[in-house]
Structure 1
């Protein structure tokens, strides 16, 4: 009799455990399904936004008259009005408002580099470029303005790399997949930066170091909401 009672209790306990396990399995399965549904919704939203971005870019491209620029390394700069054609020259007005690796919010002061190059089809980058260097904004009581010469270090299908001996700096325009990167590296030794190893160089930068070579970048080049540029066009 005692053995039978123990057996009944064991069976009831086992059934209770199985029911509890079943509930846990159901809960985990439901949570997994909810996570998968959320992932699908996020993916659909990303695809929708990407489609919208491409459509807006095509609309912006159609609004720009210069086919030569639109099919060049400078296309994204042209779409953002950082490059303008003036008859037989191209004027560059490059604004760097991100000084180092931060959250992406523009700084309250700006570094501006201005220069011109001859207009050619296809676009050709000269060996040397006279430029103006300007810094203005908060923390700068009087606008800093000086001039220099950029010398062409590299030119390829993926970008151009210029160096200024007087400023000890590199100016780089680099095409990467569907994006175009614009960098200004201050306090750099000549020959230290090459296009083929640029990404590895950036990844190796320690911004906490006193000798950090973190680049200046442009907030406007990080913007891919082309509707903004359509409004300003």
Structure 2
């Protein structure tokens, strides 16, 4: 990267914008190319000024920083967004990361941290300030939430049979695959229809396919 990093400042408080502008004006390696007082303005200014980094507040009128981040990073060759906020809760952090933010700093961060974060995100890194780093680690280390299987009212065997019904197999073929007699398969299909509250095999198959069953194995 040649020349100073082009930065857009987004905050609905003029004192914060002025303070950041004054801080960054002392840095020959950073150039403030635009300011915005809300998310709507931020999207327009980012499109016109083509910054390389954006310092983004979250709580703003008209459009919050989450939605503004989402729209800005959706553009071609988007800037790296660093959220700079008072909000240290997990919900705000997750929402910002999911929207595409590359950094998340609390407003208590000192000037050196802000400058370092600007250079880090424009170099392709992700930056999380000391106040939220522990929360990021905890969220990353949390075990994944297991999704319940479809049709919990069915037994495992009934779900296996329904899966084959959804795949279009006849009773004899289902029995051959699962090691069951055709009569057992027929009885199981009848139980499945009753438990699902559907009138026939076709309706059960349609409901199963809508829930993701009946797909060929990868």
Task: Please give the range of the TM-score, normalised by the shorter of the 2 chains.
Answer: under 0.3
Bigger relative CO (Cα 8 Å, ≥ 6 apart): 1
More strand per residue: 1
Q: TM-score, normalised by structure 2?
A: 0.20
Q: TM-score, normalised by structure 1?
A: 0.19
Give the number of the structure whose alpha-carbon radius of gyration is greater: 1
